[in-house]
Structure 1
């Protein structure tokens, strides 16, 4: 498909990315907008990486607050074949829709630059994940989790008649919840049938199959070989084949001379056997992706794994797809979010320069002496505002009692996608995209709800087991400790029959609950009618009037 054909098929856009004042929109130069054209607004966050032909940049789409990647390709730098490869990637991505495959949303043209809008994975790639292990082997449970997702993605693309041809750890992306996304289809090829063969020698040398090394025709089983190399790396933390030059590498691949054996003391014989079957020299003897999924080691837990993938995908905020038939117009703005704080002797709002780019704020919360920010990339930062260097009691979550004056990332939550945070007087609670709740800080009055054996001060985030079977959608903290009874474990609040709570908001000695029907329930100290109940009693009462938070 030519560049012109692809533009006619998918729609095109000429965008003017000229310099303008901060806060103004930089709009497309395609002329007047028709009434049916849909405008999508984007804010640049940060550059994720640079390649030979362009950059990959993270954007936030303001309509739904989702994060997307614009893969930029400078068409002037490409040969005719390379242009075909780029347009081929768009063509293939548009037909692949699967929970374990990088989603394609749109593409735009800016003069001689092609911008491909793709799903963003906030957990890096499998190559980095393996390197971060620093010699510590993955558990079999994790390897099986990755294996299932990779095999599911490969099975899907093969059913669509697509041969990936460049499966490697660098092209397998992760979310912070360990969800796998197979990406980079620039070298992929559409075959007419499962019996079709390809001839072009492409791919990354370390993952090339024996048939590729020997220059003979190959098919979908070449992807299975590359997949076997990836799983071998997960099991050994080393490349399957290694050499000082391409020729020696090809010799080792053809001879099946892998760098080391998989540790049978750590991994089951079933898992090891399956990996070596994928690395069989004879393509016909390698299993298909569907056959891998049918192996007992995966099939016995397939429903559980499918449900987990579905759950994690539903937690990820996906961009809203266009509702119009024509390609929407991209509007890029330079507006950014800034964080200010005051108090603790500061009478004028102070701007925090720490929150910009990829660390720009998505959600903020304040306690009596500490602050918390969730960034657009779902990382948690905390800091304090205290006088005289007073010690904290763990509410910052940094593992000590220091009163950090500047925002500091909570390292214990690295790898967790934080959705929301709430601050109490001297404790903090946060909720992840997996609907899990972590808490840290003072547990003197049972505020955190953990076992006393952990001590009265919890210096690092701990997962609340109580909510493992009770997914958490939102958390709010009361700032005071004036409740009549202390409870060291969560207690269910009885609400009027038929009322469904959609959100909760806490003050120092009162709580408001918003119901699905739009009514407000209030409980706590009603002194001076602060709950708006018009009567001097406590307890849950239905507030029928309109309440604005």
Structure 2
């Protein structure tokens, strides 16, 4: 499964067993890594098995960063963060493997893509829930003094119950208690904060900016700074838009002022005025409490069905409609005002 220099022959992995994991298929790859779907032999549990070509890396610092990723996974324990399971260096391959929780339903990028293809919008309640889950994961990371630094839909996974799981911590960095800013330019341009793009120092609020970009995209089914996947946008133009904070407003007819204002507060250019992750969590929790405290919505269709049934027992069509030359009452009478629809009865 390996040839000279530690090079990995990926095509030979499928169907093979590595340290108690049977490789099922390749699901992704990067410059120094491959991600496989695998099955743990002891109990049949499906996992994502990440192979990192640690000994192909140019210098010791890169190898140290990979081992840091393992340590990051080990320190995190949150229902909305991909769960770390195990790590090992295979003796035969001399490569690092990390086994993490398998997300059965793919990632948020695919969910957004499906919504675009089907031309459907996410309901506001679902958007608040998604933001709350991601924000809760970030709050846990920030409490551990860990920044994600590459938050985007493709790095947010979905389990069988539909819960979001923040993953891919390869670009995360644990800041020491004396360090409040990081200065390296890393991440994905569409979701990078202005301060990162400008080479300035940045802190935890840079992750909040990325979350704001994701929240906007869930609402509008497109990035705030790239309005069409087919748009021929140069990196320079993209950087200009981001550093100027130029993006169309979220549709007011679809979503509440509270949701739009919160996303706007996450996308403020000045980090000082931008929401922190605790404020985002608090607003989401307040929204959910208010939603639970509201009385259940009245189902006008069920009420009308009941009325129609009682009117039928009184033979109202014969005694009232014909005598008074009135149309039958529609089953959606209360939902659509006084307009009757003979086609629905």
- Normalising by structure 2, we get a TM-score of 0.73
Counting only pairs closer than 5 Å after superposition, residues 264-413 of structure 1 correspond to structure 2 as 264-295=252-283, 297-301=284-288
Deviations 1:445-478 (A, max 9, x none): xxxxxxxxxxxxxxxxxxxxxxxxxxxxxxxxxx
Contact 1:195 1:219 survives alignment (8 Å) = no
Q: How many residues align?
A: 270
SS of structure 1 residue aligned to 2:75: coil
* Cα distance in 2 for residues equivalent to 1:226 and 1:26: 38
Shift of 1:165: 0.6
1:89 pairs with 69, 88, 103, which one? Answer: 69
* Cα distance in 2 for residues equivalent to 1:213 and 1:165: 12
Which position in structure 2 is the counterpart of 1:534?
A: none
Deviations 1:56-75 (A, max 9, x none): 11122233332111101122
Which position in structure 1 is the counterpart of 2:302?
A: none
Deviations 1:212-254 (A, max 9, x none): 1111100001000001001010010001213722221111111
Which position in structure 2 is the counterpart of 1:79?
A: 58
2:131 pairs with 131, 134, 147, which one? Answer: 147
Check 1:240–1:64 CA distance in 2 against 1; reply closer, same or farther (3 A cut): same
Contact 1:59 1:67 survives alignment (8 Å) = yes
Check 1:269–1:217 CA distance in 2 against 1; reply closer, same or farther (3 A cut): same
Which position in structure 2 is the counterpart of 1:187?
A: 171
- Normalising by structure 1, we get a TM-score of 0.47
Contact 1:101 1:181 survives alignment (8 Å) = yes
Higher strand share: 1
Moved over 3 A (4+): 25-28, 302-305
Deviations 1:488-518 (A, max 9, x none): xxxxxxxxxxxxxxxxxxxxxxxxxxxxxxx
Higher helix share: 2
Which position in structure 1 is the counterpart of 2:45?
A: 66
Which position in structure 2 is the counterpart of 1:47?
A: 26
* Structure 2: stretches of 5+ with no match in the other structure: 1-9, 227-231, 293-345
2:112 counterpart of 1:130: yes
2:237 counterpart of 1:248: yes
1:99 pairs with 79, 89, 92, which one? Answer: 79
1:198 pairs with 182, 202, 207, which one? Answer: 182
* Structure 1: stretches of 5+ with no match in the other structure: 1-16, 29-40, 306-549
Which position in structure 1 is the counterpart of 2:299?
A: none
CA RMSD, aligned part only?
A: 2.4
